[in-house]
Amino acid sequence: MPAATSSPTAKSLLLDLLSTLRKGSMPVRALLEAGSLFGITENSLRVALTRGLVEGLLERDERGAYRLGERARAVAERVASWRRLEERIRPWSGAWLMVLAPSRTGSRPAQRRHVRALRLFGFRELTRGVALRPDNLTGGVDAARTELTRLELAPGSIVGELRGLDPLTDARARALWDADGLVDGYRKMCRELDASARRIATLPETAALVESFRTGGAVLRRLTLDPLLPEPIVPAGERAALLAAMGRYDAVGRDCWAPFLSRHGIRHRSAPTDTRAHAWGDFS
């Protein structure tokens, strides 16, 4: 199965669990019980809760329950939008979106956030300080500029549109992505999702929770980082097939997690998955 190469951290588990809330917050007892499924100690989770509050990634309500903080919401919304990936794509005219990075991108954490913003948008570096992607996203350059800013692109970056590349440079730009590798990955993940769904039907509750969390998360990490390349570079039907498979798997995951979440009175919009979207070192 496409499980993560390691267990989730206390921080990533908290953020992934809280990202699934339809509204409201999650009580500490639910977070601690979920942590025990992955061998995360109570002390580690409580430390992560405290740090998350300080960093603005978490908020606590008057009952002492937790929800995502403002700093975590942009990335969480990006991950949660996987069902609408195809709505973010428009026909490609051959133009490119371009980001010119400033000479200095700030502190090391700021640099990581800058790189993460580019990766979440599918940019690749054409030459030092110049990142490109096909201009096939809905809303064009204005929408991209706004969303990249929300995702903490380095201040001073220039976001614009690039046209009229010479044929050799255009060909080099198109080759920045491994199109064959993307297609092979779509097909492999479809097979793994179907195999995991069959396994889950035979597993006890706790094992099913862990399997769905890890397997669904591995696929969502890939979908969140998918460059959404246009038809001339990658056949759109391959990505659509994976989205359909993930839709079916999410229903399996929700069924797995429903008894656990119901016991704690938690309303959720999707199955918890191991996306690790907020921990750059684990986000691959």
Write the pLDDT tens digit of every residue in 175-199: 999 999 999 999 999 999 999 999 9
Give every CB contact of residue 32 below 8 A, 6+ residues apart in sequence: 42, 45
pLDDT band at 264 (very low <50, low <70, confident <90, very high): confident
Per-residue burial over 217-251, b if 16 or more Cβ lie within 10 Å, else e, is bbbbbbbbbbbbbbeebbeeebbeebbebbeebbe
| The predicted structure's pLDDT at residue 278 | 53
Buried b / exposed e along 121-159 (16+ C-beta atoms within 10 A): bbbeebeeeebbbbbbbeeebeebbebbeebbbbeebeb
Q: What is the pLDDT of residues 123-175, one digit of tens each?
A: 999 999 999 999 999 999 999 999 999 888 999 999 999 999 999 999 999 99
| CA 42 to each of CA 28, 29, 38, 211, 223: distance values in angstroms, whole numbers, following the listed order | 10, 10, 11, 22, 31
Q: What stretch of H or E contains 161?
A: strand 158-162
Per-residue DSSP letter, 153: P
Q: What is the dihedral of CA 260, 265, 266, 267, to 10 degrees?
A: 110
Q: What is the DSSP letter of 229?
A: -
HEC secondary structure over 206-226? HHHHHHHHHHHHHHHHHHHCC
- If one compares 3 and 253, the residue with the highest pLDDT of the two is 253
Distance in angstroms (rounded) separating the CA atoms of residues 110 and 66: 26
Whole-number pLDDT of residue 265? 83
Cα distance between residue 283 and residue 275, in whole Å: 8
| The CATH number fitting domain 95-162, selected from 2.60.40, 2.30.110, 3.30.70, 2.30.30 | 3.30.70
| Of 115, 130, 133, nearest in space to 280 by CA | 115
User: Which amino acid, 46?
Assistant: R
Instruction: Provide the 3-class DSSP secondary structure of residue 26.
Output: strand
Cβ contact 54:19 at 8 Å: no
pTM recorded for the entire structure: 0.83
| Domain extents in the chain | 95-162
